[in-house]
Amino acid sequence: MQIAILLYEGVTALDAIGPYETLSRLPDARPVFVADRPGLVRNEKGSLGLFADAALGDVPTPDLIVVPGAPDTSGPRESAAVRDWLRAADATSTWTTSVCTGSLILAEAGLLTGRRATTHWHELDVLASYGVQATGDRVVTDGKYVTAAGVSSGIDMGLTLAGRIGGDRVAQSIQLLIEYDPQPPYDAGSPQKAPADIVAELRPAA
């Protein structure tokens, strides 16, 4: 099973690495990082490099597509090469997925129109503007499309898919191997739980 994980300048690293750490442990998984051209891609801070093994055209028919997000997705959203690759790859993929604002990239390519999907809570209104049924759920499955909310939810999305593909026992084994047992010191991981003043401070200006 070939798993194509899209990279681009300014990507949020955990959006890509969370699904990689879960899905790459599936039996027969063949993950490959793809970008406009092979080579080093810098994350949103510019301080971390991820390496794209292949160009988009080198991976035309992956079984599973992962589109990570970023604080600014205008680059990949405005890229004809990315849009064309996503549309063509999606035509034959078994699963098409995203993490965080990666769903905006899928939406720009026209792949989520009329579907239920999620994204980072900052961008739910933007996602809805594409004709998507935007929801704040952590992981949303609509047919073969699986979208995850903000950053860390990509791990949940990966485990959800691992269960669908390999079965519960395989997914549970992966969860145990990566010791994914969240016990955060704070309960402020969503706008519904975080203190109101912090939510107001971090909410984008209208």
Domain count, the chain: 1
For the question of whether the overall pTM of this predicted structure is more than 0.85, the answer is yes
CATH number of the CATH domain containing 115: 3.40.50.880
Answer whether residue 43 is part of any domain. Answer: yes
Answer whether residue 193 is part of any domain. Answer: no
Answer whether residue 202 is part of any domain. Answer: no
Distances (CA, A) of 165 to 19, 24, 40, 171, 195: 14, 12, 30, 9, 38
Q: pLDDT of 42-89, one tens digit each?
A: 999 999 999 999 999 999 999 999 999 999 999 999 999 999 999 999
Answer whether residue 38 is part of any domain. Answer: yes
**Active site residues per annotation:** 100
Answer whether residue 85 is part of any domain. Answer: yes
Amino acid 53 reads: D
Structural domain harbouring 151? 2-181
Answer whether residue 188 is part of any domain. Answer: no
CB 13 within 8 A of CB 50: yes
Q: pLDDT of 121-139, one tens digit each?
A: 999 999 999 999 999 999 9
